[in-house]
């Protein structure tokens, strides 16, 4: 087979195209890579902020939330923050960022604790990965140490320290339970047993410390259709 000048030029053109196109393809990573970069960026920001605020003994949720906050003096704030837990003071807080200060200035970051707020609403924008649905507002019940968000609704309501968008719920975040419209009580074995009464299966789940499953079981059994 003869190798003509035209053939060489054609092969060279293909080679140059593939070689030069490689970098441009790399500029468009897959969604997994994009999420990884976003998560890493968020973690870097969190580490920088926690270093600036000298937050020893503090842990935070792995994601941020959008909050509408009304302070005790009635001033309103729009805050995007993770929820932080001060393991020493045993209290939760969010962080307000004052962008008039440089990132290197400690005054840029301010802790806001529940007792400093008159109201707090978490604004969730549910998505199935492709489509956004209408906003969902979760109102935080204010206590001395945390905001509680209703995450299970039924004859027994359950309150979590972390806003939940109908996704998997971590049982360890459940801190409050409420029978119908009664008072919100601490989520523990005694209070839950009193609420489920003689529901045998729910009592067995409570004995195994599966409180979340016990609440869901009791609520299902208490639905009108379940009694027919």
**pLDDT at site 217:** 96
**pLDDT at site 30:** 56
| Torsion angle in degrees (nearest 10) through CA of 97, 99, 102, 105 | -30
**pLDDT at site 16:** 45
Q: How far is CA 8 from CA 3, 12, 18, 51, 97, in A?
A: 7, 6, 16, 60, 61
In order along the chain (228 residues), what is the average pLDDT of each group of 10 residues? 44 45 44 55 58 72 93 96 92 94 87 97 76 82 95 95 78 94 96 97 96 96 70
Residue pair 138/163 in contact (Cβ under 8 Å)? The answer is yes
DSSP class of residue 83 equals P
CA distance 94 to 113: 7
**pLDDT at site 104:** 82
Residue pair 218/201 in contact (Cβ under 8 Å)? The answer is no
Give the pair of three-digit tokens for residue 196: 């489920």
Q: Is 174 helix (H, G, I), strand (E, B) or coil?
A: strand
pTM above 0.85, yes or no: no
**pLDDT at site 127:** 63
CA distance 97 to 109: 5
């Amino acid at each position: 087979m003869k190798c003509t000048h035209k053939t060489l030029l054609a092969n060279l053109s293909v080679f140059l195209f593939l070689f030069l196109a490689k970098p441009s393809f790399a500029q468009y990573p897959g969604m997994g890579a994009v999420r990884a970069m976003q998560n890493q960026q968020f973690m870097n920001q969190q580490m920088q902020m926690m270093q600036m605020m000298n937050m020893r003994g503090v842990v935070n949720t792995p994601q941020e939330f959008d909050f509408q906050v009304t302070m005790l003096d009635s001033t309103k704030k729009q805050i995007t923050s993770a929820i932080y837990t001060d393991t020493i003071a045993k209290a939760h807080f969010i962080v307000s960022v004052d962008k008039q200060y440089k990132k290197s200035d400690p005054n840029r970051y301010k802790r806001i604790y529940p007792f400093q707020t008159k109201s707090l609403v978490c604004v969730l924008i549910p998505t199935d990965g492709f489509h956004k649905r209408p906003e969902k507002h979760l109102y935080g019940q204010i206590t001395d140490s945390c905001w509680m968000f209703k995450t299970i609704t039924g004859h027994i309501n359950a309150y979590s320290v972390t806003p939940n968008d109908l996704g998997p719920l971590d049982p360890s975040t459940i801190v409050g339970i409420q029978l119908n419209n009664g008072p919100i009580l601490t989520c523990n074995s005694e209070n839950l047993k009193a609420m489920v009464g003689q529901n045998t299966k729910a009592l067995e789940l409570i004995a195994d410390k599966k409180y979340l499953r016990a609440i869901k079981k009791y609520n299902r059994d208490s639905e009108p259709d379940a009694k027919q």
